[in-house]
Amino acid sequence: MYTVEVDDAQKQARVISTIQVFKTSLDGGTTQLFAVGKYIDTVNLEGASPKLLTRIVKLDTRMLGIGYHIPF
């Protein structure tokens, strides 16, 4: 996790986490960095356990070629 900002009045937290996505080729098994970015999450803190309300993915860099449709 990068940052956590708790809003006690709303009983929610805004959490920013960094992500790195790696791609491994099927022919030879070489692995390379595919994308770097952040998850920006809103988490509900009410109840017995936290629940993810929203997630925004912001990519800082990426090596997306034609035909890549990969959910992060």
Helix or strand or coil: residue 69? coil
The rounded percent of the chain whose pLDDT value lies above 90 is 60
User: In the chain, helix, strand, coil percent, each to 5?
Assistant: 0, 60, 40
Residues 6+ apart with CB under 8 A from 69: none
pTM of the model: 0.75
Say how far apart CA 12 and CA 8 lie, in whole Å: 7
pLDDT number for residue 70: 62
Query: What average pLDDT does the segment 30-58 reach?
Result: 94
Query: What average pLDDT does the segment 51-60 reach?
Result: 95
User: What tokens does 49 get?
Assistant: 């356990």
